[in-house]
Amino acid sequence: MTGVIAFCSSIYTAGTSLITATYGCSRTVATLGVTTFLLGFASGPLIFAPLSEVYGRNHIFRVTLGLFVLFQIGCALAPNISSLIIFRFFAGFFGSPSVTNSGGSITDLWPQSERSVPLALFSAGSFLGPVFAPVAGGFISEYLSWRWNFWVVLIVSGVVYAACVLFLPETYAPKLLRDKARRQGIVQTGPPLNSQLMTSLTRPWLMLFAEPILFLLSLYMAFIYGILYLDFTAYPIVYEQSRDWTPGIAGLSFLGMGTGMAIATIASPYVNKIHATYVTKLGPEPEARLPHIIILAWLIPASLFWFGWTAMPPIHWIVGIVSGAPFGFSLILLFLAITSYLTDCYGPYGASALAANAVFRSVFGAVFPLFGPYLYDGLGVPWGSSLLGFFALAFAPLPWVFYHFGPRIRLRSKYHMMMKSQGL
């Protein structure tokens, strides 16, 4: 499910130039199809997360994924750019629980000591989907039509939906216990739905702006996530406009980034061993999640400078494409480490911390593609990428800072101390 939704988020970009020609709109307006999808993706969990606590994960998966499938029909048949943008928003809105609640399902099914591989596969689906979508979408747009991008998503997501309905069990333990109690005639009471909704809507934002660890690491991940989606704008500029490649061939330029992500996924069990080594050294402290990303954080700016100054002719095209490999490799492992670190820091409030992190990421992912063309048109590819690289350099010391000073910062954290007071 996660891979299908992530795939849908960026397959749109493969047909942006054709959408512009079809509807006679500007490239910026056409790019709003990516922006609105990610804004819908950001807002969906705020509603569906508390609903899943009441009705269980399975009911939410079935309803929302079914609606996601239906909105692909609207996208494929959209008569104008306005309707396409609106359909994309609702596709992102109803597709979001299939990604955000899947992480909870992994937590339900595997104990903490055995989650590294499932979480790595989940992360691979979340990030490899957007990277490989332009590869497939480029050829689909070139040889069929940009509308067929949505028909393909409809077919694949329809198969996944059928499998979900037929084979996916309920995994949320409180829902299973409530169902068992109901069968036994036991009446249970809990917080009302409106109270859960209010908590879901407010606590992530209260934590985001009150917790320095959460704010800075969420800002860091949001920036990297924004660059990922900005690349869906940058790569066509470089490989379609500057090198005169067709959309299908230009989509292959994302394989460098995808290769790095695949290697990171394969390496995740070894990273888990590094974590175990530092648990022995530090004890079960959240900072044991950070040592390996102290170095990886520097690969982000390095890959941006590499891409910026080698992507354009007359330098051979392979040099710029290979620059995506360290970016993709570090992105996956940074995401896994920071997600685990935030969960360890905030315990029972970890879901709210991750919700704030996810919304922040999606907003940056929605906005960055809009200014990408202006950035590269105004500064050129070398200096446009270098500007992003300088920002990435400013963020790179964060893992080192929290590794060394995280324990002291957590002592001043309201939510961390609340967790400790509860003996968690």
Residues 155 and 54 reside in one and the same domain: yes
H-only helix segments in 25-115? 27-55, 57-77, 81-109
Residues 283 and 172 reside in one and the same domain: no
What's the rounded Cα separation, in Å, for the pair 38 and 54?
A: 25
What's the rounded Cα separation, in Å, for the pair 84 and 95?
A: 16
What's the rounded Cα separation, in Å, for the pair 99 and 101?
A: 6
Residues 169 and 207 reside in one and the same domain: no
Tokens 């530092």 correspond to what residue? 278
Tokens of 412: 């001043």
Residues 172 and 254 reside in one and the same domain: no
Report the domain count for the chain.
Answer: 2
Residues 321 and 273 reside in one and the same domain: yes
Looking up residue 51, the CATH number of its domain turns out to be: 1.20.1250.20
What's the rounded Cα separation, in Å, for the pair 268 and 275?
A: 10
pLDDT in tens, the chain (424 residues): 788 888 888 888 888 888 999 999 888 898 899 999 999 988 888 788 777 767 778 888 889 999 999 999 999 999 999 999 999 999 999 998 888 777 667 767 777 666 667 777 787 788 888 888 888 888 898 889 999 999 999 999 999 999 888 888 777 766 777 767 777 777 666 666 677 667 767 878 888 888 899 999 999 999 999 999 898 877 877 888 788 888 788 888 889 999 999 898 888 878 777 877 877 777 778 888 888 899 999 999 999 999 999 988 889 999 999 999 999 999 999 988 898 888 888 876 777 788 788 888 889 988 998 888 888 888 988 999 999 999 999 999 999 999 999 888 888 877 767 766 655 5
Classified as helix, coil or strand, 1 is coil
List CB contacts of 387: < 8 A, sequence separation 6 or more. Answer: 375, 379
Residues 205 and 63 reside in one and the same domain: no
Q: Which amino acid is at 316?
A: H
What's the rounded Cα separation, in Å, for the pair 397 and 293?
A: 10
Residues 145 and 220 reside in one and the same domain: no
Distances (CA, A) of 314 to 141, 303, 304, 341: 28, 19, 19, 43
List CB contacts of 226: < 8 A, sequence separation 6 or more. Answer: 361, 364, 365, 367, 368
Residues 312 and 349 reside in one and the same domain: yes
Determine the distance from the C-alpha atom of residue 104 to the mean position of all C-alpha atoms in its chain, rounded to a whole number.
Answer: 15
pTM of the model: 0.85
Chosen domain end from 190, 219, 246: 190
Residues 359 and 394 reside in one and the same domain: yes
Comparing C-alpha atoms, which of 226, 236, 251, 237 is closest to residue 376? 237
Residues 258 and 237 reside in one and the same domain: yes
Residues 335 and 288 reside in one and the same domain: yes
Chosen domain end from 127, 159, 190: 190
Residues 14 and 48 reside in one and the same domain: yes
Q: What residue numbers bound the domain in which 235 lies?
A: 199-424
Chosen domain end from 172, 190, 208: 190
Half-sphere exposure of 190 (CA within 13 A, CB side): 12
